[in-house]
A and B are shown apart, each in its own frame.
Chain A
C-alpha cells in the first residue's frame, strides 16, 4: 500500500507539472490573442467574459484540464493508499499535509473551473499546488507512529480535512485577486473581467471562511481534550486567528464603499499570505503544533 501511494504520488506530481505547463501555454496563447485584439487586430471588440482565444487556446485549455483532472484523480488515489497504509487520515505530518493541501487546491480549483469556466486561474492555482508537491518531495515520506498528542483519529481527520478545504478555496481566491490586481478597471489583455474575478474571489471565501471557522473551532475542541485548554495562544492558533480576522475583514469590506475592488483584492492577497504563514509557521516558531513539523 505504501509503495502504491508512492507511485501514484509521483504520477500525480508528473501530471501536475505537465498540466501546469499546458495551462501556461494556454495563457500565453490567449494573452497573445488578447494583445492582438487590443491592438485592433482580428477579433475586434468583444464583450466576452471568458479568456481571449487564439488559434490553439481552447485546445490547450481542454488538454490542461484533462491532465489536471488526471493529477487530481491520481493524487486522490495516492492519499487513499497512504490512509490505508498508515491507518489514519493523511494529515499527520508536514509531508502528508503538503500533499493534502495540494489536493485541496486541485479540488477547489476544479470546482470553480466547472462553475465559472475561467481556466486562466489555473496559471496561479496549479503552480502553487505543484510547489507544495515539490516541497513534499524534499520531506521524508516514511510512515512513523503517531505521537500521543495526535492519537485522536476522529479529530485528526476532520480538523485537518476541513482546513484543507479552506486553504484550497483561499488559493483560488488568491488567484482571482492576483489576476484582478494585474489589470486596470476595464480589463486588459483579454483577461477575465475584473467583475467576474471579484465574484470568484468572493465565492472562494464564502466557501473557505466557514471551513476555516470550523477548523479553528475543532482545533479548540481538540486542544481541550489533549492539552486541557481550548485556547493557549500557541503560534499556530494565533496565526489561524490572524488569517480568520483578515478574511472576516474582507467579507465586511466588500459592503463598504471605498473598500471594494482593489482594497478588497489586496485583503485576499494578505489573507493568502496569512494562510501560508499559518501553514508553514510551525516550522519556525515551534509551539504546541511543532510535532507536525519535520521529525528530524
Chain B
C-alpha cells in the first residue's frame, strides 16, 4: 500500500496506474489482488454507486416503519410488533422481516455499504493527499510556452516596459487579488500565482470527518450506555443504572397545558442527584434542558401516574415503601400497571390503577394488586382490589395504598463517543465550506524581454472554464493592461 501511495498521478484523477513489480508468481497474484482492490476503492464510480445504494436504503428506511430499539432482540416483543404492522404490509411483512427491512439501519446491507463507503473514502483520501499536498506546496512554476496557447483562459500582451517593471506591476495587481506569486528567472521570467491553495485540503478534511464520526459512533456504542426508559416516582430515590455511586431523587413532576388548545406547554422534573449519598446536583429537567453530570446526561422523556404504597411481610417487617411508577399498560385493558419486588418473599407484585370511571374492577381510589411467584413459571398467588388508605393482605403481604402521584420517565445516557461526533461534524462542515467556497485558483505567467527594451507578457489559467472564473480572468487581464498601459488587443 505504501508503495502505491507514492505513485504520482495528476490531480483530480482518481485512478492509479501502479505497475505490478516483477517478482514471484504468487507475489504477483497477491499484488494483483491488492492492486485491484485499491483500484476499486479509489474509483470514483465505485464511490458514486455506493452513495446511491446508501441513498436507496435510506429511502426504504424512511418509507417503511422501523422497529423500535430492542424490539427485534426479544422474540415475544418482535412477534407482537410484526403482528401489529402485518395489516399494513400484508404479504410483504415476512419478506421485509427476512431482508431486515424493519431494522434497515442495523441490517447487514446497510453495514456493508457503510463499511465499504468508509473504506472507499479513506482510500480516496489517502490516494489524493500527496497530489493535493504537492499542488499546494511545490507548484510547477515553469510550464513552457505552449501552455499559454492551449490554456482554457489565456492572454498575450506586448508592453513598453522593461521585464522587471512588468513583473513588479503584475505582482502588484495579483497581490491586490490575494494571489501569492512565485517567480523563476532564467532570462525569461516564469511566474506562478495562486489563491486559496489550502482550499482543496477542505475536501480531505471533510472526507476524513466521516471516519471521525464513525469512530465516535462506534466508541459510543461500545463504551457508552443508553437507558431510554428510566422511571422514577415522585418522592422516590433510585440508584442510577450503569453509573457507580449515583442516585437520583424526584421531588416533583409538573406537566402543564395551554388552556385554549390543550397543547402541552411544559414537562418539568425537579430532581436531586447524589453521589455516594452526597448531593452533587439539583436541577429541573425539561425537554430542552437536560441535567448533565460527570459525563452522564438525564433527559426528560415521558411521564405517567405512580402510586405511593407500603408493603409489609407477615411478621410486620417492611418490604417496600415508596412510589411505584405505573409505566406499562396492560394487554387486555387500559389500566396503567407497575411492578415492585418483595425481597425475601420469593414473590413479585404487579399493581394496576383504574382505567377511569367505566372500570368496574378497579374503581377510582382503588388499586389492583397481583402477587406472582418470582420463579420461571410466574404462577399467580392472589389477586385483589384494595382501597386507598386501607391495609389489605394479598398473597401473604400487607399492602397500604396511600395516594396517587406522578412518575417521570427519563432517558439516561453516557456517550464517550459524543465529542468525536461533534469534532467530526465540525470538520465535515468546515472542510466542505473550505473546498466549495474557497476554490484554488491558479495562474501562470511568462515575461520575456524584447530587443526593443519592452517585454511580452503571457498569462494563462487552467481549471473549470465557468462564468465566474472567466469574469475573474477577464478583469485580471483588464487590470494588467491598465497598469502596464498595454494597448488593447484587437
A, B: real partners = yes
| Residues in A neighbouring B14, C-beta threshold 8 A | 256
In contact, A252 and B44 (Cβ under 8 angstroms): yes
In contact, A210 and B437 (Cβ under 8 angstroms): yes
Q: Does A2 contact B (CB under 8 A)?
A: no
In contact, B61 and A206 (Cβ under 8 angstroms): no
Q: Does B79 contact A (CB under 8 A)?
A: no
Q: Does A253 contact B (CB under 8 A)?
A: yes
In contact, B48 and A256 (Cβ under 8 angstroms): yes
In contact, B62 and A281 (Cβ under 8 angstroms): yes
Which of B12, B48, B52, B226 neighbours the largest number of chain A CB atoms within 10 Å of its CB? B48
Q: Does A149 contact B (CB under 8 A)?
A: yes
Q: Does A181 contact B (CB under 8 A)?
A: no
A243 CA / B422 CA spacing, docked (Å): 21
Q: Does A28 contact B (CB under 8 A)?
A: no
In contact, B51 and A252 (Cβ under 8 angstroms): yes
A266 CA / B457 CA spacing, docked (Å): 43
In contact, A199 and B429 (Cβ under 8 angstroms): no
Q: Does B178 contact A (CB under 8 A)?
A: no
On chain A, the number of residues with a Cβ less than 8 Å from chain B's Cβ atoms is 47
Q: Does A69 contact B (CB under 8 A)?
A: no
Binding-face segment, B135-143, B262-270, B332-340, B386-394:
B262-270
CB nearest to A224 among chain B residues: B418
A206 CA / B52 CA spacing, docked (Å): 19
| Residues in B neighbouring A189, C-beta threshold 8 A | none
Q: Are A238 and B61 CB-contacts (below 8 A) given A148-B286, A217-B428? A: yes
In contact, B411 and A144 (Cβ under 8 angstroms): no
| Residues in B neighbouring A214, C-beta threshold 8 A | 429
Q: Does B55 contact A (CB under 8 A)?
A: yes
In contact, A225 and B290 (Cβ under 8 angstroms): yes
| Residues in B neighbouring A209, C-beta threshold 8 A | 432, 436
Q: Are A213 and B428 CB-contacts (below 8 A) given A249-B55, A295-B263? A: yes
In contact, B51 and A249 (Cβ under 8 angstroms): yes
Q: Does B482 contact A (CB under 8 A)?
A: no
CB nearest to A246 among chain B residues: B55
A259 CA / B47 CA spacing, docked (Å): 13
In contact, B55 and A229 (Cβ under 8 angstroms): no
Q: Does B456 contact A (CB under 8 A)?
A: no
In contact, A228 and B258 (Cβ under 8 angstroms): no
CB A192 to nearest CB in B, in angstroms, measures: 11
A295 CA / B263 CA spacing, docked (Å): 9
Q: How large is the interface on B (under 10, 10 to 19, 20 to 34, 35 or more residues)?
A: 35 or more
In contact, A245 and B413 (Cβ under 8 angstroms): no
| Residues in A neighbouring B300, C-beta threshold 8 A | 148
CB nearest to A142 among chain B residues: B261
CB B298 to nearest CB in A, in angstroms, measures: 8
CB B124 to nearest CB in A, in angstroms, measures: 10
In contact, A235 and B263 (Cβ under 8 angstroms): no
Q: Does A141 contact B (CB under 8 A)?
A: no
CB nearest to A212 among chain B residues: B432
Q: Quick one: which of B51, B265, B413, B433 contacts A148, CB cutoff 8 A?
A: B265
Q: CB-CB contacts of B246-287 with A at 8 A, as 1s and 0s?
A: 000000000000100101111100000000000000000011
| Residues in B neighbouring A149, C-beta threshold 8 A | 287-288
A239 CA / B300 CA spacing, docked (Å): 26
Q: Does A285 contact B (CB under 8 A)?
A: yes
| Residues in A neighbouring B432, C-beta threshold 8 A | 209-210, 213
Which of A148, A252, A274 neighbours the largest number of chain B CB atoms within 10 Å of its CB? A148
| Residues in A neighbouring B54, C-beta threshold 8 A | 245
In contact, A228 and B290 (Cβ under 8 angstroms): yes
CB A139 to nearest CB in B, in angstroms, measures: 15
Which of A149, A228, A233 neighbours the largest number of chain B CB atoms within 10 Å of its CB? A228
In contact, B52 and A148 (Cβ under 8 angstroms): no
* Leading 8 A-B pairs by shortest Cβ distance: A228-B299, A228-B411, A148-B287, A245-B55, A242-B58, A238-B62, A152-B288, A217-B425
Known: A145-B265, A149-B288, A202-B466; 6 extra A-B contacts, CB below 8 A, are: A147-B263, A151-B286, A196-B467, A238-B62, A256-B48, A259-B45
B interface residues (Cβ-Cβ under 8 A, vs A): 12, 14, 44-45, 47-48, 51-52, 54-55, 58-59, 61-63, 65-66, 105, 226, 228, 258, 261, 263-267, 286-290, 297, 299-301, 411, 413, 418, 421-422, 425, 428-429, 432-433, 436-437, 466-468
A sample of 30 cross-chain residue pairs with beta-carbon separation below 8 angstroms, ordered by A number, consists of: A144-B258, A148-B264, A152-B288, A199-B468, A202-B466, A209-B432, A210-B433, A214-B429, A225-B288, A225-B290, A226-B287, A227-B299, A228-B228, A228-B290, A228-B301, A235-B62, A241-B58, A242-B62, A245-B55, A246-B52, A248-B51, A249-B48, A249-B55, A252-B44, A252-B51, A255-B12, A256-B44, A274-B55, A285-B62, A285-B63
A interface residues (Cβ-Cβ under 8 A, vs B): 116, 144-145, 147-149, 151-152, 196, 199, 202-203, 206, 209-210, 213-214, 217, 220-221, 224-230, 233, 235, 238-239, 241-242, 245-246, 248-249, 252-253, 255-256, 259, 274, 277, 281, 285, 295
